[in-house]
Chains A and B, each alone.
Chain A
Amino acid sequence: MEHPHEVTLPAGAIEVPPSSRWRRLPAIAGAVGVGALALSFALGRSDGPQLYHSYLVAYLFGLSLALGGLFFVLLQYATRAGWSVVVRRLAEHVMATLPLFALLWLPIGLWGFDDVFHHWAHPPPDDPVLAWKEPYLNPGAFYVRAAVYFAVWTLLAVWFWRRSRRQDEEREPAITRRLQSLSAPALILFGLTLTYAAIDWIMSLDPHWFSTIFGVYVFAGSVVAILAFLILVALSLRGSGLLDGVLTWEHFHDLGKLLFAFVVFWAYIAFSQFMLIWYANIPEETEWFIHRWHHGWQYASIFLAAGHFGLPFLFLLPQEVKRSRAGLTFAASWLLFMHYVDLYWLVMPSLHHEHFHVDLLDLTCLIGVVSLVFAVFAYLLVRGKLVPVGDPRLAESMALEVL
């Protein structure tokens, strides 16, 4: 396949102009984030378990987005993708927020640890199962593993982000070649760290419960989240007159198709996990779903199944929706919301298994974490080119046509 190598980038389309409202976003979002987190910690002083569970859900929401961004970038390099070059920079900035999550983890790791992980951190003496798991589920190993995760994520994110940015100046195809060859081993590190982080920070909340597919489940949700986020950011950049003639409806169509595919993939993994546990009906496994099928949680479960799969599946089916601003905006916003519901459904029943309860702290923590992540994202976004201008496949990406 021949592709034109020379690209004419529309002037003013690939950099955020000084007058743009995007320039003000980092400061605003940062202030909102700090304020909302300060409010959360003030409000939650008297109710540690509620505060730190709410905070954990919000934290996981932001983290899964950032990890989804890392996966998206690595996947594009590993598959030598051409179509996605014009959206890759957005994902790179999401990925580049990963170091922030080491900092945001501290409240959970330092102050909230006993409130969140007390089931296994202080096990009842007559529990042989938790005694058996002690070599894995103990605070020391837990902290060491967390340090390893953050080290791997920071290393990968910074390394890939820096080199992609350097290519903007140097226009060196060798950089792409190097990133390509390292993307596959990086994906292995990504897969392993994501799996064990999911076990440590979500599955261990119910320390008796276990499921081998759990890492895949969390992964599927993260990819849905990053795709939805990329679509929303790209749409609003286009709305501000940016990326005009660079990022086209062809790209949105492809992103929409991927979003649809991962909605189905998530449902497939979720159904496999549920059906196998429901079918075998072994008490130590079924207990986890029992908690999510009583005391009001059954409505959350039904809402999750319908909202994270049924509705978006039917909605995203027609081709026209994936090429429409209103259609994609709705689908992507809805799925980001449902991703939060999904994480809420994973975490919260371990705190409120005797009644369904939504707290004000859920909202303030979510606003706090998301605003801080968005502040960093927007800060990086406005300070550079919006697309990797030095990428050898940029012209191919801009010429994308979906058959």
Chain B
Amino acid sequence: MAHVAYDIDPVEHRPALIEGDPDFHGITEAVARPVEWRPPWGWYAVLAASLSLLGLFGVSIAWLFWEGVGIWGNNVPVAWGWPIINFVFWVGIAHAGTLISAVLFLFRQRWRTSINRAAEAMTIFAVMCALIFPGIHIGRPWLPYWMLPLPNQMDMWPQFRSPLMWDVFAVSIYGTVSLIFWYVGLIPDLATIRDRARTRLRRIVYGIFALGWRGSFRQWLHYEKAYLLLAGLATPLVLSVHSVVSFDFATSQLPGWHTTIFPPYFDAGAIFSGLAMVVTLMVICRVVFKLEHVINPLHFDRMAKLMLLTGSLVGYAYSMEFFIAWYSGNLYELFVFINRATGPYAWAYWTMVSCNVIVPQFYWFKRLRTHMGFLFVSSILINVGMWFERFVIVVTSLHADFMPSSWDYFKPTFWDLATLAGSFGLFFTMFTLFVRFLPMVAMAEVKSVLPQAHVHNRPK
């Protein structure tokens, strides 16, 4: 499985990004096939499984609304338990999509074209999952408009000095901008599906969303400019979003939460976990939809290197927090960190460290960076680790607060677990539908990085 047919990291020239030297039409065929053909039985199986989990999500939320947040394990002192962990986890997953589509675009990393569409889709679905958790955690889900900048019936306005208000803006604007970015990128490819449509219904539906695109270069000029500017806006946006999420914790005075490195540390961790999710999904999709030549070992090699980088940055942040906890001379701060590593949640802490810091170190080896089996397992381990990172941050800082008489051991209930599993149902349902109905690779962009797209001798 780990065959690399050619040198993916030569110094004498740039490697081909797509294997097998396909022509433009070959790319169209390969990418449009999953949208036009009857999907394989495996797709139905995954959809059925995802829908069942989504059903569980629905039941969990319905029961929550009926019974109240008491069905969860949240209780003083761990009043911010499972839902906030899941919220941060899903927002983090979202980040890799923007990294791949925007940041790598600005850095002219042309290998991104094979995976950016799927990663952006993942971003949007992950933001949807994330937004649900604070929404259902507020306790009075019929009053969500209190989070909007509007006066309520008592003429009270929202309180903008609260980081939770910043979150409302950051995450919802992040979702909106990601959707715009994704949709603008989709327009030319939707036109391709429209032009290949064999039924009137497909022609009309894809035609509506393709907006009448006809590949006019006068339009491409504006398209490319808009895409570049959206990338330029999305890059600081993605950094700001997880920074704002980190502010939820870091503006407090709680030991283990209040530390200045949180914003960049959360960003690195978010991109780390998101990349791991992209790898998990792409290892499967490329095989199921026969896109092995489009999404090939070169792409995994680059993503694994980025995971090595972000995983090591996360490790740097862990060690910096620990060192400064000691260096500060603040005994409460130090206690929290020693308690993390040796206290009742040591199992969670060491799961986090092993998965997030040790597992990516295997990516120093090119063989493992391109080994699909290893990538699949390690990327899942990384996401387990990143989930536990949020668990460790939220729970270990709260469970032993300033008053030892209220210390407690937080345990999730069945409904906590069901809600988390159910959110995966929502995510996978959306993703499964996406790979069936929309081109999961940005065809137009992949064509533009083929060697024959390059004009060597330009006229004056």
Question: B330 in the interface, Cβ–Cβ < 8 Å?
Answer: yes
Interface string of B304-328 (1 = CB under 8 A from A): 0000100010001100110010011
- A-B CB proximity, top 6 nearest: A212-B261, A1-B14, A213-B260, A129-B329, A279-B251, A272-B263
Those of B240-295 within 8 Å (CB) of chain A:
240, 243, 247, 250-253, 258-264
> Are A132 and B9 neighbours in the complex by a CB distance under 8 Å?
no
Give A214 to B264 CA distance when docked, in angstroms. Answer: 12
> Are A177 and B11 neighbours in the complex by a CB distance under 8 Å?
yes
A173 to chain B, nearest CB (A): 5
> Are A1 and B329 neighbours in the complex by a CB distance under 8 Å?
no
Interface string of B201-236 (1 = CB under 8 A from A): 000000000000000000000001000100000001
Give A180 to B67 CA distance when docked, in angstroms. Answer: 59
Q: A80-B9, A280-B258 are in contact. Are A136 and B327 (CB under 8 A)?
A: yes
> Are A272 and B264 neighbours in the complex by a CB distance under 8 Å?
yes
> Are B329 and A393 neighbours in the complex by a CB distance under 8 Å?
no
Those of A70-121 within 8 Å (CB) of chain B:
80, 82-83
Give A273 to B108 CA distance when docked, in angstroms. Answer: 31
Question: B13 in the interface, Cβ–Cβ < 8 Å?
Answer: yes
Give A177 to B239 CA distance when docked, in angstroms. Answer: 32
Give A241 to B448 CA distance when docked, in angstroms. Answer: 37
Residues of B within 8 A of A176 (CB): 11
A350 to chain B, nearest CB (A): 17
Query: Which positions in A face B, CB cutoff 8 Å?
Result: 1-3, 5, 80, 82-83, 128-129, 132-133, 136, 173, 176-177, 180, 184, 188, 191-192, 195, 199, 208, 210-216, 264, 268-269, 272-273, 275-277, 279-280, 282, 284, 392-393, 396, 403
Q: A213-B264, A280-B251 are in contact. Are A3 and B321 (CB under 8 A)?
A: no
> Are A272 and B243 neighbours in the complex by a CB distance under 8 Å?
yes
18 A-B contacts, Cβ less than 8 Å apart?
A: A1-B13, A1-B110, A3-B14, A80-B11, A136-B327, A180-B11, A184-B308, A211-B324, A213-B264, A264-B236, A268-B239, A276-B251, A280-B251, A280-B253, A280-B258, A284-B328, A396-B14, A403-B108
Q: A80-B9, A176-B11 are in contact. Are A273 and B260 (CB under 8 A)?
A: yes
Residue from A1, A82, A191, A216 in contact with B261 in the complex, judged by beta carbons closer than 8 Å: A216
Residue from B258, B312, B327, B364 in contact with A133 in the complex, judged by beta carbons closer than 8 Å: B327
> Are A282 and B253 neighbours in the complex by a CB distance under 8 Å?
yes
Question: B141 in the interface, Cβ–Cβ < 8 Å?
Answer: no
Residue from A173, A212, A277 in contact with B12 in the complex, judged by beta carbons closer than 8 Å: A173
> Are B12 and A392 neighbours in the complex by a CB distance under 8 Å?
yes
> Are B12 and A5 neighbours in the complex by a CB distance under 8 Å?
yes
Give A132 to B329 CA distance when docked, in angstroms. Answer: 6
Smallest CB gap from B254: residue in A: A280
Q: A208-B329, A214-B260, A276-B251 are in contact. List 7 more A-B contacts (CB 8 A).
A: A1-B454, A2-B451, A2-B454, A5-B13, A269-B264, A272-B263, A393-B11
> Are B258 and A188 neighbours in the complex by a CB distance under 8 Å?
no
B247 to chain A, nearest CB (A): 7
B268 to chain A, nearest CB (A): 11
Residues of B within 8 A of A280 (CB): 250-253, 258
Residue from B228, B247, B324 in contact with A276 in the complex, judged by beta carbons closer than 8 Å: B247
> Are A212 and B321 neighbours in the complex by a CB distance under 8 Å?
yes
Among the interface residues B12, B228, B260, B317, which one has the most CB atoms of the partner chain A within 10 A? B260
Residue from B13, B327, B328, B364 in contact with A2 in the complex, judged by beta carbons closer than 8 Å: B13
Q: Is the interface of B mostly helix, strand, loop or mixed?
A: helix
B330 to chain A, nearest CB (A): 7
Q: A1-B13, A136-B327, A177-B11 are in contact. Are A272 and B260 (CB under 8 A)?
A: yes
Counted as pairs of residues, one from A and one from B, with CB atoms less than 8 Å apart, the total is 100
Give A275 to B246 CA distance when docked, in angstroms. Answer: 12
Smallest CB gap from B224: residue in A: A403
B391 to chain A, nearest CB (A): 21
Residues of B within 8 A of A188 (CB): 312
Q: A1-B451, A133-B327 are in contact. Are A276 and B14 (CB under 8 A)?
A: no
Residues of A within 8 A of B320 (CB): 195, 212, 215
Interface size of B in residues (CB-CB distance below 8 Å)? 39
Residues of A within 8 A of B108 (CB): 83, 403
A316 to chain B, nearest CB (A): 13
A122 to chain B, nearest CB (A): 18
Those of B442-459 within 8 Å (CB) of chain A:
451, 454
Smallest CB gap from A264: residue in B: B236
> Are A212 and B260 neighbours in the complex by a CB distance under 8 Å?
yes
Residues of B within 8 A of A403 (CB): 108, 224, 228
Smallest CB gap from B316: residue in A: A191
Give A177 to B9 CA distance when docked, in angstroms. Answer: 9
Residue from B239, B247, B264, B327 in contact with A210 in the complex, judged by beta carbons closer than 8 Å: B327
Give A396 to B308 CA distance when docked, in angstroms. Answer: 27
Smallest CB gap from B263: residue in A: A272
A196 to chain B, nearest CB (A): 9
Residues of A within 8 A of B14 (CB): 1-3, 82, 396
B297 to chain A, nearest CB (A): 16
Give A215 to B260 CA distance when docked, in angstroms. Answer: 11
Residues of B within 8 A of A177 (CB): 11
Among the interface residues B243, B263, B454, which one has the most CB atoms of the partner chain A within 10 A? B263
A12 to chain B, nearest CB (A): 28
Residues of B within 8 A of A180 (CB): 11
> Are A173 and B327 neighbours in the complex by a CB distance under 8 Å?
no
Residues of A within 8 A of B9 (CB): 80
Give A246 to B261 CA distance when docked, in angstroms. Answer: 41
Give A284 to B330 CA distance when docked, in angstroms. Answer: 10
B272 to chain A, nearest CB (A): 16
Those of B312-358 within 8 Å (CB) of chain A:
312, 316-317, 320-321, 324, 327-330
Interface string of B102-116 (1 = CB under 8 A from A): 000000101000000
Residue from B253, B324, B329 in contact with A212 in the complex, judged by beta carbons closer than 8 Å: B324
Give A173 to B10 CA distance when docked, in angstroms. Answer: 9
Give A214 to B321 CA distance when docked, in angstroms. Answer: 11
Smallest CB gap from B320: residue in A: A212
Residues of A within 8 A of B261 (CB): 212-213, 216
Give A118 to B34 CA distance when docked, in angstroms. Answer: 70
Give A282 to B329 CA distance when docked, in angstroms. Answer: 14
Residues of A within 8 A of B236 (CB): 264, 268
Residues of A within 8 A of B262 (CB): 272, 276
Smallest CB gap from A279: residue in B: B251
Give A177 to B10 CA distance when docked, in angstroms. Answer: 8
Residues of A within 8 A of B454 (CB): 1-2
Among the interface residues B13, B224, B262, which one has the most CB atoms of the partner chain A within 10 A? B13
Smallest CB gap from A396: residue in B: B14
Among the interface residues B12, B239, B262, B329, which one has the most CB atoms of the partner chain A within 10 A? B329
Give A273 to B258 CA distance when docked, in angstroms. Answer: 11
Give A218 to B100 CA distance when docked, in angstroms. Answer: 27
Residues of B within 8 A of A279 (CB): 247, 251
Q: A212-B261, A216-B261 are in contact. Are A133 and B12 (CB under 8 A)?
A: no
Residues of A within 8 A of B364 (CB): 184
Smallest CB gap from B16: residue in A: A1
Q: A210-B328, A280-B251 are in contact. Are A392 and B264 (CB under 8 A)?
A: no
Give A272 to B265 CA distance when docked, in angstroms. Answer: 11
A372 to chain B, nearest CB (A): 32
Smallest CB gap from B312: residue in A: A188
